Amino acid sequence: MVHVPNRTVEKRYRVHRKAISLIKFILEGYDGLAVVTTRNAARGEISVFIAPGCEPMWEAIRKDLSKQVFIQHGETRISENHRLPDERL
C-alpha cells in the first residue's frame, strides 16, 4: 500500500491574465488533481490547491504549460487535514 500524505498544498503563481482560464480549463480535465482560484485577475494572481499526493503530476503539467504561457511561482503553503476549496462534507 502506498502512503499518500493527508495535506493540501496551495501554490501561488503570477500568470498572464489571459492564461487564467486556460489553466483552469486544463486542470478541470484532471478530475480531483487540483483546484484553481483567482486571487487578483487584473494582476494575474492565482492559487492552485493541489490534492494530496498529486504534486508530481501538477509539477509536470506546470512545467509543460510554462513552455507556452508565463507562470511565476510566488509562495507555497501546506495545510494538514484540509479539504480542497470545492469539497463538501
**Position 86 pLDDT exceeds 80:** no
Give all domains of the chain, ordered by start, each with its CATH number: 7-79 (3.30.70)
**Position 62 pLDDT exceeds 70:** yes
Confidence tier at 79 by pLDDT (50, 70, 90):
confident
Q: Where are the alpha helices (DSSP H) in 1-89?
A: 20-28, 55-65
Cell of 48: 492552485
pTM across the whole model? 0.79
Mean pLDDT (the chain, rounded)? 87
What is the per-residue pLDDT for 87?
Answer: 52
The CA-based angle 79-61-39, given to 5 degrees, is 50
What is the per-residue pLDDT for 8?
Answer: 85
Of 5-14, 27-36, 67-76, the range with the lowest mean pLDDT is 5-14
